[in-house]
Homo-oligomer: A and B are copies of this chain.
């Protein structure tokens, strides 16, 4: 990757005096210190430097080619690059897999040529590389945008070409600095994972921000993100039904299950954002706040009681805490307040200003609160043009740093004062937000990342392999189709997953004998191939306690299931509540384990989490603790708490079973009933795929 970012010499294939080919040369000339070789048979000179008809004619060694010729001409350019010994090629031309069948064929042809020649391709259909720190622009981006860019510590990876230019324009407009911007397009070869890996050691990058419409190598992405010491902020397009459809057609990439994606990525510490500006603001906040106490206890200073209330609302909603000021802090602050006004957080400065004047009131309160031991962040609401002169931001920032506190401003007010304030804040390295909702979201993102880094140090990383070792022994039946409850639970039992006591019975007498031995009440189920939803087919009889009841249920079910069916008797367990657990293979993330709440309401509002399989006990415990309604498992309403070890073991074993045989495409345990804190599989099935499972 290093050669893509720091080549010694660059050829521009498709250079021209104007248009995009001209922009690339102009961009290169603006700051790149290596050799620049325009290539275009129609010119002998461009922008005052020699232009060559073919790359093979360039007299000097070249490391990187930036290609802008029409798509159909790209294969021959790649062949020429191979001949010339150029092994890094950024194809910026469009007209490949994003543009119908012909384009897909063309892209495959290019990939094949590159692979044979040992060339790594970046793109096609992309805007290439913008390195603001080093003034290296390998891109057809409009040179005017370049002038508006600020150098900073955030590196961008953007799938969509046009979005890359838009992001840069918007970041420039908002005064947010950029290190590198990488537009990766169709990802014929180089993808976001390669670049994330490279940026880990890039000294110019503190935060990695991505816009992606799919994550084809989801497993690798998850592993890299989880291990990343630099925050990874992701805006994922195609989260809605219509958006996902459009994404498929936009880049011809498969999209996976977005609920699964969210859950898996949340475990990796990726900060997910939901809009372009939220992503930019979060990345900017993470660049400025490398570390914060995960509780994110905020104190608020304001001249407007209403603003203090709204700040509380926004902070609490985002998961931050409103700091309880210590007695010492309250006493210290009380010196600038009238006696009738008890000082509490949010600190409404209005009465203090009336008493002591703006300056003394603000500084008295600031000095007291910034020293508070149980406060992590100080949020100051300032109204430009309505509160007199701006405070000395350098001095405030220094005091905040001395006290180990984060300082953030919520800035409102008049146009003129705001602009100056923002500039001062940028110079002082102080974060400023117009919208307190965004402020709160950004603080909370920083706190989440800090918590993740803290936690990840004590935890094994996401699994590298998709295979858990020895193949499972599948004696019978054949590993195909969907196994019924009995067969599935036999297999689960071999993996030490607790299942209900049960057996197949041929006669009502045998059933009654079993019931007497094991104890009543029992359940009788009719198993029929292709009728998995037994309850809906009326194939389940619950709460059977006596012989006549059992006999009549047996007779009924026998009639219903017919020749092909079987009758299963099982001990009925008292159920406190129902969970679900499962295994599946995702198009992007490969084998995953699922865990969630069961029952009818959970079907309406699913509360499920996913992590990569196989997984170890600690990760399984983390899954259990990540449900939205985890309180249910913790001893809710007088019920005993869930036996966490048993439940985690089930998830670990499910992952091991599922990954032991690539023909297993899905396992569902539904319900996994909890009885006096112990989970047990009450119904389950396993699905085998005709081909080996998809993996990401």
A414 touches B144 (CB 8 A): yes
B102 touches A316 (CB 8 A): no
Within the assembled complex, what's the spacing in Å between the Cα atoms of A631 and B239? 23
B437 touches A274 (CB 8 A): yes
* Cβ-defined partner of A307 (8 Å) among B162, B241, B629: B162
Within the assembled complex, what's the spacing in Å between the Cα atoms of A261 and B687? 48
Q: Does A474 contact B (CB under 8 A)?
A: no
Q: Which residues of B contact A235 (CB under 8 A)?
A: 310
Count chain B CB atoms within 10 A of each CB in A100, A103, A309, A418 and give the residue with the most. A309
Within the assembled complex, what's the spacing in Å between the Cα atoms of A506 and B158? 77
Q: Which residues of B contact A240 (CB under 8 A)?
A: 312-313, 315-317, 322
Instruction: List A residues 505-544 near B (Cβ within 8 Å).
Output: 536, 543
Stretch of A53-61, A399-407, A463-471, A632-640 with 4 or more beta carbons under 8 angstroms from chain B: A632-640
B163 touches A307 (CB 8 A): yes
Task: Specify the chain B residue showing the minimal Cβ separation from A317.
Answer: B240
Q: Does A218 contact B (CB under 8 A)?
A: no
A166 touches B242 (CB 8 A): no
Instruction: List A residues 623-654 near B (Cβ within 8 Å).
Output: 628-629, 631-632, 636-638
Count chain B CB atoms within 10 A of each CB in A246, A577, A602, A638 and give the residue with the most. A246
Query: Chain A interface: which size bin?
Result: 35 or more
CB distance from A185 to the nearest CB of B (A): 11
Given the known inter-chain contacts A100-B340, A316-B243, please indicate yes or no for A309 contacting B213, CB distance below 8 A: yes
Count chain B CB atoms within 10 A of each CB in A276, A317, A436, A637 and give the residue with the most. A276
* Cβ-defined partner of A636 (8 Å) among B350, B600, B605: B600
A275 touches B144 (CB 8 A): no
B414 touches A308 (CB 8 A): no
Q: Which residues of B contact A629 (CB under 8 A)?
A: 601, 604-605
Instruction: List A residues 586-606 near B (Cβ within 8 Å).
Output: 597, 599-605
A600 touches B637 (CB 8 A): yes
Given the known inter-chain contacts A240-B317, A304-B162, A605-B629, please indicate yes or no for A310 contacting B276, CB distance below 8 A: yes
Q: Which residues of B contact A172 (CB under 8 A)?
A: 414-415
Within the assembled complex, what's the spacing in Å between the Cα atoms of A322 and B314? 30
A100 touches B341 (CB 8 A): yes
B275 touches A305 (CB 8 A): no
Q: Does A444 contact B (CB under 8 A)?
A: no
Interface of chain A, main secondary structure:
helix
Q: Does A148 contact B (CB under 8 A)?
A: yes
Q: Does A490 contact B (CB under 8 A)?
A: no
Task: Specify the chain B residue showing the minimal Cβ separation from A381.
Answer: B166
CB distance from A424 to the nearest CB of B (A): 18
B169 touches A412 (CB 8 A): yes
Q: Does A50 contact B (CB under 8 A)?
A: no
Count chain B CB atoms within 10 A of each CB in A148, A245, A310 and give the residue with the most. A310
Q: Does A386 contact B (CB under 8 A)?
A: yes
Can you add 20 more A-B contacts, CB < 8 Å, to A144-B385, A246-B308?
Answer: A94-B350, A98-B305, A148-B415, A160-B305, A160-B306, A162-B350, A169-B385, A169-B386, A169-B413, A169-B414, A170-B412, A237-B309, A242-B312, A246-B312, A274-B437, A275-B314, A276-B436, A577-B600, A601-B632, A604-B632
Q: Enumerate the 6 nearest inter-chain pairs by beta-carbon distance, A residue then B residue, closest first.
A: A160-B306, A100-B340, A240-B316, A162-B304, A243-B312, A250-B305
Chain A residues packing against B (C-beta within 8 Å): 94, 98-103, 142, 144-145, 148, 158-160, 162-163, 165-166, 169-170, 172-173, 211, 213, 235, 237-243, 245-247, 249-251, 274-278, 303-310, 312-317, 322, 338, 340-341, 344-346, 348, 350-351, 354, 383, 385-386, 412-415, 418, 434-437, 536, 543, 577, 597, 599-605, 628-629, 631-632, 636-638
